[in-house]
Amino acid sequence: MEFILRKLARCIHVTFFLIIFFSSKIVYSEVVTMPTSLTSDTTDFVLLSSSGVTPSISGYSGTLLVSAVASAGNIKITTTSSTDQAAGYCGYASDGSSAPVQCTGSSLTEIGFRGTQANINTALATLSFKGDGSTGATITVSVTPAGNNYNSANGHYYQVVGEANDEISYADAKTAAEASTYKGLTGYLVTITSEAENDFLDAKVSKNTWIGASDSSTYTSNTHTITEGTWEWISGPENGKTFFCQVAYINTAFNPDRQTANAADDACSVATGYSYQNWDTNEPNDHSSTNIGDEDCAHLKANGKWNDLPCDTSSVDFYIIEYGGTAGESATVSGLTTLSINSTESDDYNVFDDKELVGIVEGQSENAKRFIYSSTNSILERMEWYRTTKKNENIKFQDIGIDIDITNKDTYPYAKLLDAYLLKGDVNKEQKLSNKNIEKFINELPLSKYLKNEFGMVPRKWKIWSSGYLKKGKIKLKSGKVNQEFDSDALTIGMDKIIRKNTLFGIAIRLEDQDTDVGQLGTKIKSNAKSTTIYSSWHNNKSTFIDGLAGYGYIDNDLTRIEQANTSNTLTGNRGVKQYFTSIKFNKIMDRDNFTSLLFGRFDYGLSKLESFSEIGNIQALKFEEQNLKNKSISIGALTKYKKKIKKGYFLPYGRIEFFENLTPNSEVKASYISDPNTEYSYTVKEDYSNSIKLELGFDLNLIDSWYLSTSIRRLIKNNKDFENEFAIKAGKPF
């Protein structure tokens, strides 16, 4: 008997060992095989199998769901035969028997499909990846029985359970979910705590589906009894967390006197970190068409929104089981593998292959040069006006009325400046710029201490002048680059005096706003510029003048870049630009009858220091190093004006032609991905034109001792290839 019992015990022991051994083999036989690294390309897709390891799965049975998610770049499969559509993947809203042909697209970051192990392996053999230039990218592959979905964002698994026309009560769904296990994880009725999780589930369901939220006292949380109007998660790790306080019933048609729920007192408060909710419009309303206060259980609708329903309703056929997140639990089966991608570029890859990127880089350079040129021109034109206006010596301080909209200070820089010196009052009435406020403005200008007399006031012999313009221009490039369009408005206010019989000296401040549209995708540059300039004009006779100036400016650029390869990617940044500039101009004036001709030669030099900055937005964000941009040019030209006397002044149509020799050196732009600072890319802003011609037609309207108006049309032709068009309106007043 003892021998038999010993033999029986030994058999039981061996049998138990075999059960454990083979059970273990069964549990751990599920394997996802993936390469450990991959050298990718940014110009084309590379098969993962090119690493020497072909992606595959083994140890699985039945119909499976496989998904692959790339953290950066794009993935695709080229073989979809014998696989089926999977809900929420590759553009499909529900499971189906059709092959997921959209999974072969070239712009996907996530693919998913259903099939047997053999069919899935056939598809995985064609899995390929295209990098985007960033390093540290990953491809996460998960395999679950059909109906189970892995969420790579939180590491949880989800199972949609139910059949159409097979209703289930809330209590039964909760009980069934908590009795379920998967990969060693205990199930629970799903809790949705973020928009990303809600979106993930919305793509997987198309029917009313129970979720683990209730405001019914039937469900007691870990620490307390739920009260009406206090919506809590009643399952999983979130059990007992309040996420919504219903303090009033939205729809009161069935009981007008019942305005507030029990949560109207201060007893309800949302738990920290659990404020996410996605109720549908006018929900939760806590009543159905027949009963009031009977809707205490939440469900996810087909539109992704939440609603409250009676817990025993017959209109819900599905529920979602969530696995993962429970303390002390971890998956026991390997059905998830993450592949680290060593994303390198082909030898000819450069991030500046993106035309939108090149456009915004070129746009910043063009803006910097344009701001210097505009600042310089406004001063040179003042000195030109000074010589052609014979009554300059008699201009005195005076009050002037300015009708100006100062309510839109973000649009008009002159409003920003003048508002500080205008007499306060109704902005809809005429505002006065008084002597007192003029002097206050001048006293705050740089170098003002050198311009005051012994009484601390600005001497009366100083002349105050202003000049502003609105300008619209377009840079049309024929060299394959994206075009640029810009709108700008500017104001220059200055003061000057005759310090000797033949010498004028002055100082001016200039404000300018400019919006530049780069290309057609939405890339933009919004610029705000300020500059201060000192200037002087000297003459040795009545017809020969030498003008000179030197100035400092600063530009604040707000940048918005649309990625050409993926137009849904928007990157933003802010970049400052310091500017230093000087100009000298030689003038010869000739008067004959009503015609005035000006021959001139000019030399310009400017230095723009574009500060380093980093974009924000996504993994494509770049960090740009400091860029030094020098612009040098010499020019000769001629201006002819015809003066026609009118009732209160003069009408002066004119034409100008100017030939430029561009001496500007190329400028180097350096950038790197923020995610990969060790790989640097460069682009050369080429001065691809050596000469240009500027043609201008316009007219001046000078009213004696009053306002003047100027308008012009300009075209700048560069090497007979690229050109800029401008239309400008300018107004000014000496005072």
Give the model's confidence band at 455: pLDDT under 50 very low, under 70 low, under 90 confident, else very high: very low
CA distance 217 to 224: 9
CA distance 627 to 126: 44
H, E, C per residue of 273-342: CCCCCCECCCCCCCECCCCECCCCEEEECCCCCEEEECCCCCCCCEEEEEECCCCCCCCCCCCEEEEEEE
Mean pLDDT, rounded, for 239-265: 56
User: DSSP alpha helices (H): ranges in 554-622?
Assistant: none
- Please tell me which of 37-41, 296-300, 674-678 the model is most confident about, judged by mean pLDDT: 296-300
Task: Please tell me the pTM assigned to this model.
Answer: 0.50
In the numeric block, which tokens belong to residue 574? 């802010």
- Mapped onto helix, strand or coil, the DSSP state of residue 167 is coil
pLDDT in tens, 467-506: 777 777 777 665 557 788 888 888 888 888 888 778 889 9
Give the model's confidence band at 169: pLDDT under 50 very low, under 70 low, under 90 confident, else very high: very high
pLDDT in tens, 43-92: 778 888 887 888 888 888 778 888 888 888 889 998 888 888 887 788 77
Mean pLDDT, rounded, for 534-558: 91
CA distance 548 to 586: 9
Is the model more confident about 296 or about 725?
A: 296
Mean pLDDT, rounded, for 92-104: 79
- Mapped onto helix, strand or coil, the DSSP state of residue 596 is strand
pLDDT in tens, 578-600: 999 999 999 888 878 888 888 99
pLDDT in tens, 187-211: 999 999 998 899 888 877 778 899 9
Residue 350 has φ and ψ, to the nearest 5°, of -145, 135
* Sequence-distant (≥ 6) Cβ neighbours of residue 73 within 8 angstroms: 40, 109, 129, 130, 131, 132, 134, 137, 341, 343
Q: Is the pLDDT of residue 13 over 70?
A: no
Q: Is the pLDDT of residue 216 over 80?
A: yes
pLDDT (0 to 100) of residue 429: 35
End-to-end, the C-alpha distance of the chain in Å comes to 127
Mean pLDDT, rounded, for 638-650: 83
Q: Is the pLDDT of residue 546 over 60?
A: yes
Mean pLDDT, the chain, whole residue set = 76
Q: Is the pLDDT of residue 433 over 80?
A: no
| Sign of CA pseudo-dihedral 682, 687, 688, 694 | positive
pLDDT (0 to 100) of residue 626: 95
In the numeric block, which tokens belong to residue 582? 């000087």
From the centroid of its chain, how far is CA 526?
A: 13
pLDDT in tens, 402-426: 323 333 333 334 444 444 333 333 3
pLDDT (0 to 100) of residue 611: 95
Residue 386 has φ and ψ, to the nearest 5°, of -60, -40
Q: Is the peptide bond before 145 cis (omega within 30 degrees of 0)?
A: no
DSSP H or E stretch at residue 584: strand 570-592
pLDDT in tens, 115-143: 889 999 999 999 998 887 666 678 888 88
- pLDDT > 70: percent of the chain: 74
